[in-house]
Amino acid sequence: MPTPEAPTLVIGEALTDILDCPGEPRRSFPGGSPANVALGVARLGHPVRLATRVGRDHFGEALRTHLSDSGVVLTEGSVADAPTSTAIAHLDGRGAATYEFDISWDLPPGALEPARTGATGHLHTGSIAAALAPGADQVLAAIEAARGRATISYDPNLRPALLGPPEDERPRVEQLVSLSDVVKASQEDLEWLYPGQDIHEVAFRWARNGPSLVVLTLGAGGAQAWWRQGRHDLPATPVEVTDTVGAGDAFMAGLISGLLRAGMLGGGQEEPDGPRARTRLLSATAATRPHQELVQALDLAGRAAAFTCTRQGADPPTRAEISGWYPAAARAGGDHIAQGPVS
């Protein structure tokens, strides 16, 4: 009988996405980047705990039901008396989203207890939770407490409407990057954070400053995975897009799932095994050519994102849905490029 997998701990906001589509009534869906990642990882077959902050109102009740139906367990103290946060996603004619937020972010100490006690093998965070005070300081403390026993992943998923100027946000982002084993960032993240700089050079620089793996997502241009010795290009999976809400979070969830299955993130066994997994991930990125299991994890991430784009809202696929799913037009694999930034 296989030993149960230790839960992945996701720390971050769960909120209600209100979709504002041209010519249509507004509709609400459960959302929040870290909550979407937690949902995606759970649907791909992994035990997940979410340290978050939701209210006891009808939005909060809908969020709790939505998450628990897919197996996500909220950590103690994640339900508060304050209203549940909201984000209005304004969609243009192409399905691309811009956001307007009504959010506060803070966590009671009990919600972060799994990070302090070592009861998790992998910790993921990002977006508003890692940037908005006062909760962002709690997130940083949780990462520092967990890092000796657990692997860490981070997705900046920046929301400029809630942030100061890029030069003020850059030090915190770079600190979190340096503490992480895996980082996923979008083209929009890096263009906002480093105006006028080559985003590929930024990704390569990040990969030499702590993480074993940095993945840069480029929308229809696919993604690039960077490590100290090289780079791997992942083409986009062509699909008919309904909207892009939650696609980046589905990519992150797929990447975490693939790396957990490859033993490159701390999934546990009898006890959390972050240090062993960290060593395995370092080994998989030690050469100019990527390890095959790393390529497979990236492929799963790309397909999970593409699948999510085929339906409305942040609705990532289950393991059964994504297993064997590959549109006929999609090109398998990727192009390997040796060490060095793209010119």
CA 301 vs CA 14, 159, 213, 308, 311: distances in Å: 21, 22, 14, 11, 17
- pLDDT at residue 270, rounded to an integer: 54
The pair of three-digit structure tokens given for residue 238, joined into one six-digit string: 């062509």
Spell out, as residue ranges, where the chain has pLDDT lower than 70: 1-4, 95, 268-272, 327-343
Nearest CA to 35 out of 21, 54, 19 is that of: 54
- pLDDT at residue 244, rounded to an integer: 81
- pLDDT at residue 223, rounded to an integer: 96
- pLDDT at residue 252, rounded to an integer: 98
**Chain CA centroid to CA 138, Å:** 18
Q: Is residue 289 within 8 Å of 336, Cβ to Cβ?
A: yes
- pLDDT at residue 3, rounded to an integer: 56
CA 340 vs CA 73, 181, 251: distances in Å: 42, 20, 24
- pLDDT at residue 15, rounded to an integer: 93
CA 42 vs CA 20, 28, 39, 48, 337: distances in Å: 28, 22, 5, 6, 33
Q: Which structural domains are found in the chain, ordered by start?
A: 8-338 (3.40.1190.20)
- State what percent of residues in the chain have pLDDT above 70: 92
- CB count in 10 Å sphere of residue 229: 14
* pLDDT tens by residue, 159-190: 998 999 999 999 999 999 999 999 999 999 99
